[in-house]
Amino acid sequence: MSYSFLHSSDLHLGRAYGGFPEDIRGRLREARHTVITRLAAAARGAGAADVLLAGDTFDAETPSPETLRHALRAMAAEADIRWVLMPGNHDSLAASELWRRIKADSPSNLLVLTEASPVALAPGVWLLPAPCTQRRPGRDLTDAMSAATPEGAIRIGLGHGAIMDFTSDEGSAGIIPPDRAQLSGLDYLGLGDWHGRMQIGPATWYSGTPEADGFKHDTAPGALAVRIAASGAPAQAGMVPTGQFQWLRPALDLLPGEDTAARLSDILPPDARRRDTLLRVEAAGRLTLAERAGFEAQLAAIAPDFGWFDSDLSRLTTEVKADDLDLIDRGGALRRAADALLSETADQALAQADRDLAELALSRLYALVQEVGV
Amino acid sequence: MKIRAIELTNLRRFAGQRARIEGIGDGISVLSQPNEFGKSTFFDGLHALFFQPHRSAKAPVKALQPHAGGAPEAAVEIDLPEGRFRLEKRWLSRATARVLDASGRLIAQEDEAEAWIDRLIGQDLAGPSGLLWVRQGVLGMEPEGASAAEKSERERALHARRDLLSSVAGEIEMMTGGRRMDQVLARVNDALAKLATTTLRPRAGGEWARAVDEAATLAEQRAGLEVKAARLGTDLRQRTAITRDLAQCADPTARAREVEALTAAEQTLTSAERHAEQMAKAEGELRLARLSAGQGAEAISRLQQLQARLARAGIERDKAQQALTESEAVAQAAAGQEAEAVTRHETAREELQTLANRLDRAQRAQLALAARDRAASLAVEYERAERQRAAAEAHRADRSLLKVTRALLDLAEKAQAARDRLALQDEARLVSVRLNYQGEARVMIDGRPLPADGLRLRGATGLDLPGIGRMTIDPGLSAESDLAAQLVRADEALARALAACAAPSIAHARKALAETERLDAAIRQADDMLKELAPDGMAALQTCLAEARAAANGVEADPGEDAVQLQEALRVARDTEATALTLRREAETRHATLRETRAAREAALQSAEQALAAVQAEAGDAVDLAARLQNLTAAQPALAQAEAEATETLARLTADAPDLATAQAAVSRLRSVVEGRRRDLARLQSDLAGVNGSIGALADEGIEEALDELRGREATAAARAARYEREVKSLARLRSALDEARRAAREAYFSPVLREIDPLLSILHPGAALRIDDTSLLPTILTRAGQDEALDILSGGTREQLAILTRLAFARLFARSGRRVPMILDDALVHSDDDRIEAMFTALHRVAQDQQIIVLTCRQRAFAPLGGERLVARVEGA
Ligand SMILES: [Mn+2]
């Protein structure tokens, strides 16, 4: 009587991505929606008919009617899959309108868990959910997982929130005991909240989000395909990738004389992946004026390859030598202005902001002189 | 190069003539000639020699031809480091050009001569001729006019300045960054202008402003959505609360329990109300029984009281009768005692009156006697007082006649002493004649013998000496002093003093003074006496006397009784009368009191009789009264029994009574509970409908997603605005660095020429400075007292002076670069007044120390103070 299912969480459907330009914003939202299809496929691939979603399926307490309707329709479309939905902190039971609407419009293959009481998923398989009652319940809801089930049943816990050892993705203190599975005699405890994938114990996992939503986690997004042979047998969890977009935040530590183009190409994904990649290059170290100008030009050249591109050069300092200034002019007023700006960049009597400004002005001067030519 | 001589032949004004200036010196040389002489012709000829090819027939050359026609010729003798040369040109017909050396040897001619001159120009003159040769009437820094020649001259001058400044200060392009600097600056300015205003605020329509506006707009939208989101949150919480309340409210078990409780309470209330009615009836019966019993007892009590009162009134009436009888007897006796006391008192009073009359008469007779004595003594006093008054009056009359006083007497005595002194002096001067007769014969004077004690002679006196004759003795001059006059004046003074004293002599006066003192004493004495006798005056004394006399006149006949004895008798009689009066009053009072007592007892009797009559009237027949009492007493036990039974019934009902108020309260409370729940249900359902509506509407808007999006977009816009701000700041910083560097470069570039101009400028405008434009390389701004002034708005004189000073400065720069070029001024300084012109002359001299300057002027007097060498133009037929 083995039982297989797919464990996922934190779909955050309807997430707005307001900080991104409009086109990528739309694509990111769309990718969150289509992950439903990818999850269904992953479940099928793993021979599972149940997809257990451990909270935060929806990003908002009252998502837009379209977000909700599209999600329910997409789930309904995967008719061979049963979707087991549990409230997380974003879509807690306090979001009464959301759950009212879900219940009102629920397809037949949707199982909504709004009570912290055991539910039979299959013969001899019991799910012990701990739905979030509030955004911050302030108590250990997983206590309910100690509820009794028939003798010899497979016990699967489904919870949402941070465990005691670390703070949640949202910064609130963890409250779930890390040994909850053992305490409540669970064969598997599937958790949501942490957007990266993480194993907490032999049978306790955070699945992470199936579609990445930021640069924070560097685990590849996916879902966990879990198989439990029998009550008391070790659960076997395997990752199935489901993510469409890649969020990369490579760091580059540069020094004068380096081939910045080569260093850059080392850290970039292959061309084919770039459209579905959000990339933020974080450069540190130092470069000469010319090298920096070159590096910035290289960055500007690759930027359009990506779904979204950004660079943070705030920790990259510009090293200016007399040779560099010669490239501006060997003498005369342009050189005099460059010299004045250079000395300002190193003037300890000035505020850092003014020194940075002088550095920026000097880089600009260099670039402009190159533009106008000799 | 230095010009030593200029020679023009058949050139313009000098038709058919040769004009020559020679002996031109190293420093300043002045050719001062009247206006029509043609000194500008020298300038033009010289200019043409250097710059018009001999084969040219262009307008400037044609302009050299005189009206009469013919070929104009010009020659110049110059000193070069290699020696002296003569340059000659002839234009238009048989045009030639020649260069000769000092010895007159031909060095070059025609085209070779032109090439020689070009070399000279290229080396030394091309620029300076435009720069340093000032044509008549040129006001500004550069030659004006639009002709090709004028333009090319301007160009030449600009190139000369550029060459000159570059040679002393480097390439201007190099120094100021030139075109690259301009392009960089233009791009910086373009970039800035796209984003920011001149004050570095976001420029409307620019990207920065757009980002700032977008952030603001998004913030506004976000705030609006946040309000809605907050409302949605509140609504959701409220709905949770309402739903919970509704569930509680609609609980059917609770409702059934409440209805059941209400029904039970209502039944309890009904039975309690019934019991209460029975109790009310029992209470009514008890009240009735009590009333009947009370009425019987009351009637008995009343009849018993009536009987007692009747008895008491009879006794009272008898007591009053007896008291009246006693009182009448006592009053009778008291009336007799009173009459007796009255008689005794009347007798005593008559006795007392008689004695009093006798005493009165005796006392009045005594008083009359005393008044007569007093009138007699007052009459004596009055007489004495009258005497004193008369005496004082007589003394005063005497005293008023005496004028002398102590002071007047002192004056008279002094006058007497003075007069006596003078008389003694006079006496001393008299001639004393004394004879001690030894015979009978006597010396006669005025027929009488000379007195034995001699004679004192005042004037010439004749003495008859019997038998001898007459001897005249004359005291002479000794009598002629003014003593006589003084004596007369002393006599007069004495007489006046005595007159004042009203006395014929001092002795009289002294006696009179003594008399006044005596009279004053007598007056005082009489006044004192009078005051003693009549202190209130004579009139008052007289009045007293009259009164005393009047009193004395009313004297009665003395009855001759002893007043003392009478008084004693009167005292005894008075005591007797008083005692009798006391007894009488006692008797009267006692009688009156007894009379009142009797009257009161009469009244008491009367009222006792009335009371008795009243009670008798009330009681009616006594037998009947007793019978009534008997009947009532017999009915009493039955009534008491009925009351006891009623009391017992009520007590039983009261003990069993349920609490009606509690039953009512319970019903009321339970009704309100049931009603309240019904109302709550209605209200909660209504509230829920409202909240549902609100939530439904808000949820349809997808507020949170929109809000999340707006927050992100707002942050992005704000970050973009911040980037633009930083961009603007860095561009502004770059621009200021570029501006500053270019300004510094210009300063360095122009500093050589400014160094030359400044000392010259300070001769005319101490403290002023010129600013040089980096296109024309000429001064364009004069700064005086911190004020910038464009040169072309200055007065003609100032412009002209600055133009010449600038040329002088450039001339010095040429000299500094090893090129000594003559400077030629043709009728310059026409606009300058005398003060300025002298300052300019000083400036010229300052430069002329190592500079050849040729000045052509028609203002002979004005230019006299310039000094320098005076040139003479000689003109002769050609
Ligand atoms: Mn989450």
ipTM rounded to 2 decimals = 0.82
A334–B741 CB contact, under 8 Å: yes
Give the separation between CA A298 and CA A281, rounded to whole angstroms: 12
- pLDDT computed for residue B252 by the predictor: 86
Give the separation between CA B88 and CA B101, rounded to whole angstroms: 11
Treating both helix axes as pointing N-terminal to C-terminal, what angle do B483-501 and B506-533 enclose, rounded to 10 degrees?
20
Backbone angles phi, psi at B329, to 5 degrees: -65, -45
Please count the CA atoms within 13 angstroms of the CA of B627 that sit on its side-chain side: 5
Distance of CA B564 from the midpoint of ligand 1 (Å): 151
- pLDDT computed for residue B102 by the predictor: 87
Neighbours of B466 (CB within 10 A): 12
Residue with tokens 């089930």: A149
Task: Name which of B177, B699, B715 is nearest A333 (Cβ-Cβ).
Answer: B177
For residues A234 and A351, state if they share a domain.
no
Give the separation between CA B212 and CA B724, rounded to whole angstroms: 9
Question: Residue-wise over B197-233: b if at least 16 C-beta within 10 A, else e?
Answer: eeeeebbeebbbbbbbebbeebeeebeebeebbeebb
Which among B689, B233, B694 is positioned nearest to A95, based on CA atoms?
B233
Identify whether the C-beta of residue B534 lies closer than 8 Å to the C-beta of residue B545. Answer: no
Which residues in chain B are closer than 8 Å to A280, comparing Cβ atoms? none
Superfamily of domain B2-171+778-877: P-loop containing nucleotide triphosphate hydrolases (3.40.50.300)
For residues A146 and A272, state if they share a domain.
no
> Tokens for B766?
């101490």
Amino acid symbol at B287: R
Which among B750, B757, B871 is positioned nearest to B810, based on CA atoms?
B757
Domain boundary among A220, A241, A262: A241
Question: Which residues have CB under 8 Å from B517's CB, separation 6+?
Answer: none
Which residues in chain B are closer than 8 Å to A102, comparing Cβ atoms? none
Domain boundary among A218, A241, A264: A241
For residues A92 and A216, state if they share a domain.
yes
Segments of chain B scoring below 50 in pLDDT:
none
- pLDDT computed for residue B220 by the predictor: 93
Treating both helix axes as pointing N-terminal to C-terminal, what angle do B834-848 and B796-816 enclose, rounded to 10 degrees?
0
Identify whether the C-beta of residue A217 lies closer than 8 Å to the C-beta of residue A196. Answer: yes
For residues A210 and A97, state if they share a domain.
yes
Give the separation between CA A31 and CA A209, rounded to whole angstroms: 12
For residues A197 and A277, state if they share a domain.
no
The helix (H) or strand (E) run that includes residue A237 is strand A236-241
All CATH 3.40.50.300 domain ranges in chain B, comma separated: 2-171+778-877
User: E-assigned strands of B466-524?
Assistant: 469-473
Give the separation between CA B487 and CA B425, rounded to whole angstroms: 10
Task: Name which of A65, A98, A331 is nearest B700 (Cβ-Cβ).
Answer: A65
CA distances from B170 to B174, B175, B739, B750 (A): 7, 7, 19, 10
Total domains in chain A come to: 2
Give the separation between CA B736 and CA A337, rounded to whole angstroms: 9
For residues A230 and A250, state if they share a domain.
no
Q: Give the SS3 label for residue A223.
A: strand
Identify whether the C-beta of residue A132 lies closer than 8 Å to the C-beta of residue A141. Answer: yes
Which pTM value belongs to this model? 0.54
Question: Which residues have CB under 8 Å from B598's CB, separation 6+?
Answer: B324, B327, B328, B331
- pLDDT computed for residue A305 by the predictor: 92
What radius of gyration do chain B's Cα atoms show? 86
What radius of gyration do chain A's Cα atoms show? 27
Distance of CA A207 from the midpoint of ligand 1 (Å): 11
Give the separation between CA A110 and CA A104, rounded to whole angstroms: 12
Give the separation between CA A308 and CA B358, rounded to whole angstroms: 163
Residue range(s) defining the domain that contains residue A315: 246-372
Distance of CA A161 from the midpoint of ligand 1 (Å): 8
Sign of CA dihedral B626, B627, B633, B639: negative
Which residues in chain A are closer than 8 Å to B742, comparing Cβ atoms? 333, 337
CA distances from B645 to B350, B623, B633, B637, B650 (A): 95, 36, 21, 13, 9
C-alpha angle A147/A150/A152, rounded to 5°? 110
For residues A354 and A234, state if they share a domain.
no
DSSP secondary structure of B766-781: TT-EEEE-TTT-SEEE
Give the separation between CA A245 and CA A303, rounded to whole angstroms: 16
Task: Name which of A63, A94, A341 is nearest B702 (Cβ-Cβ).
Answer: A63
> Strand A236-241 and strand A222-228: pairing?
antiparallel
- pLDDT computed for residue A282 by the predictor: 92
A364–B730 CB contact, under 8 Å: yes
Give the separation between CA B296 and CA B275, rounded to whole angstroms: 33
For residues A236 and A313, state if they share a domain.
no
DSSP B612: H
Sheet strands side by side (includes B787-790): B769-772, B779-784, B787-790
Which residues in chain A are closer than 8 Å to B738, comparing Cβ atoms? 333-334, 337, 365
Treating both helix axes as pointing N-terminal to C-terminal, what angle do B703-764 and B207-250 enclose, rounded to 10 degrees?
150
> Strand B2-11 and strand B14-21: pairing?
antiparallel
Mutation choice for B interface testing from A70, A336, A369, A372 by most B CBs within 10 A:
A336
Length of chain A: 374
For residues A307 and A197, state if they share a domain.
no
Give the separation between CA B780 and CA B141, rounded to whole angstroms: 9
Q: Give the SS3 label for residue B491.
A: helix
Which residues in chain B are closer than 8 Å to A15, comparing Cβ atoms? 705, 708
Helix (DSSP H) and strand (DSSP E) numbers for chain B: 19, 21
Give the separation between CA B494 and CA A72, rounded to whole angstroms: 169
For residues A33 and A172, state if they share a domain.
yes
Segments of chain A scoring below 70 in pLDDT:
165-173, 374
Backbone angles phi, psi at A201, to 5 degrees: -150, -175
Identify whether the C-beta of residue A122 lies closer than 8 Å to the C-beta of residue A84. Answer: no
A372–B188 CB contact, under 8 Å: no
- pLDDT computed for residue B290 by the predictor: 86
CATH of the domain at A234: 3.60.21.10
A63–B715 CB contact, under 8 Å: no
Question: Which residues have CB under 8 Å from A59's CB, separation 6+?
Answer: A12, A13, A14, A15, A16, A90, A91, B704, B705, B708
Domain boundary among A186, A213, A241: A241
- pLDDT computed for residue B1 by the predictor: 84
For residues A184 and A317, state if they share a domain.
no
Residue with tokens 């030519």: A373
Give the separation between CA A267 and CA A253, rounded to whole angstroms: 12
SS3 content of chain B, % helix, strand, coil (to 5): 70, 10, 20
A332–B703 CB contact, under 8 Å: no
> Tokens for B366?
């005594």
DSSP B621: -
Identify whether the C-beta of residue B238 lies closer than 8 Å to the C-beta of residue B701. Answer: no
Give the separation between CA B459 and CA B480, rounded to whole angstroms: 10
Q: Give the SS3 label for residue B135.
A: coil
Length of chain B: 878
Give the separation between CA A364 and CA A359, rounded to whole angstroms: 8
Which among B393, B650, B349 is positioned nearest to B519, based on CA atoms?
B393
For residues A112 and A217, state if they share a domain.
yes
Range list of H helices, B90-206: 110-120, 126-132, 148-169, 172-176, 178-195
Task: Name which of B176, B696, B704 is nearest A61 (Cβ-Cβ).
Answer: B704
- pLDDT computed for residue B556 by the predictor: 60
Please count the CA atoms within 13 angstroms of the CA of B244 that sit on its side-chain side: 8
Q: Please provide the average confidence, as pLDDT, over all residues in chain A.
A: 89
Identify whether the C-beta of residue B823 lies closer than 8 Å to the C-beta of residue B852. Answer: yes
Q: Give the SS3 label for residue A219.
A: coil
